Structure 1
Amino acid sequence: MSNNDSATAAKAPKKRTRRTQERTEITRAKVLEAATRIFSEQGFEGVSIRDIENAAGVQRGLVAYHFDDKDNLWKTVVDATFGLMRDEFTHRQEIMKELTERDRLAFVVRFYVRFHAKHPELSRLMSQEARQHSWRIDYLTDNHIRPAAQLMEKLVKETQGLDRDQFIHWYYIMVSASSTIFSFAPECELLFGVDSRTEIRVEKHADMLVDMLFGKMK
């Protein structure tokens, strides 16, 4: 075998490995995208693994191959969605260092509005799970919701002077108001003939929510 033949033979397994990795990544991405949409629309109990495979357009058995079972797939969806929020927020933390505490809190509220506008599946997923006790709401609360809520409570106490009982109501007002118009986008379009997720509409919503929660910001 010539040197050229040897080099070609050595490259072939690498190419096959790279193609296999690419196919694996594409399949996982398809499954995660489909599972995120279906879990948020129909809830965990209303969805089967076969439903997800059909929606993703992948062969039977690939969900189990890549994610073991429906429970683990659901956790992966949740971790990926909240991980995206955490990553986007982290990229903006340098901006927050230059702000007063009150403006920092307003910045966080605006971030929530903008994120929910881009990812309405998050609030839809939460509305599916937060209505009843289950291992899933325990997982969501322990791993994602409580840490963020505790940080927000600290900011609200420092800037607004609210106690724990007052913060509970403030928190749910903020969470609901920052997301409902986007998760209910089809209803908004039917009622008012507008797309709630346009950039102008999102910014108007963020401005109004900040004004409602804090009064006119100077």
Structure 2
Amino acid sequence: MTTARSKSGNPKRDGKVGNLRTEQKAQTRALILQCALEVFAERGFDGASVRDIAGFAGVNHGLIRYHFADKDGLWKAAVEFLFNRLHEEMAAPPEDAKLAPLEQTKSWIRRYVRYCARHPEHARIMVQESIRDSDRLRWAVKRFIKPDNEETRRRFRRLVEEGVYPDIPEHSFNYIITAAAQSMFMLANEMKYIYGLDVASDDVVDAHAEAIITLLFDHRARRAAVRRPKS
């Protein structure tokens, strides 16, 4: 009985070539999706074209059509790529499990602010779709945003139960943090012209995260300590 031989006659070499091609395909796909996110964020779904995205990515227009069928398929693939990356970058480090709920939340805010600084296209795309109240927004909410909000809701309830935070509406807590974390990076050019700041700078990003934490938590704690009567 004979078996099919590899093209080169060297299975190990062919395996390496196959792995390299798979890696290259994955890199090309990631490049296309990132370019799609940036174009959709800047121009909106209606203003973006598959041909423009292909040109931005430096790939053949037909390649995008082959892999994603149409613009709607490309948008959904790009947004799925976006949220998968969010989940990867927002994953808590193992040492956070030992922290109290408040310190876990501070760590979570720091990670989220850094994510927003690296990927301002995330917020811009969601704003574009929310303005239009599109079917795409409803798809993203059902598949990603609403399930993700469950974690924020649980985090908020723990803070309330610990007496760390007042029992305000959960949606207010969620969108206060979301807006505070995202807005400076969405409006990077405005920040540059008003304050002369590069909002992508690590120092600016980290200072912004600490400012949010101070306003939400540490400022209240210091005021309480000042008001506490001496025994």
Q: TM-score range by the shorter chain?
A: 0.7 to 0.9
Partner of 2:88: 87
Which amino acid in structure 1 is aligned with residue 9 of structure 2?
A: A
In the alignment, what sits opposite 1:189? 192
Matching residue's letter, 1:65 = Y
Shift in alpha-carbon separation, 1:194–1:58, aligned structure 2, 3 A = same
2:166 is aligned with 1:166: no
TM-score (normalizing by structure 2): 0.81
Larger RCO (alpha carbons 8 Å, 6+ apart): 1
Identity %: 30
Match of 2:108 in 1: 108
Q: Which one of the candidate residues 184, 196, 213 is aligned to 2:216?
A: 213
Q: CA RMSD in A?
A: 2.5
C-alpha separation between the residues in 1 aligned to 2:140 and 2:199?
27
Number of residue pairs matched by the alignment: 211
Deviations 1:8-42 (A, max 9, x none): 84359938756754553443233222101101111
* Counterpart-to-counterpart distance in 2, 1:9 and 1:75: 39
Q: What is the one-letter code of the residue matched to 2:147?
A: P
Whole-angstrom CA distance in 2 between matches of 1:128 and 1:77: 15
Structure 2 stretches lacking a partner, 5+ long: 223-231
TM-score computed with the length of structure 1 as normaliser: 0.85
Report what 2:120 is aligned to. 120
Amino acid across the alignment from 1:200:
D
After TM superposition, give the deviation of residue 78 of structure 1 in Å: 0.9
SS in 1 for 2:56: helix
Aligned to 2:149: 149
- The unaligned stretches of length 5 or more in structure 1 are 1-5
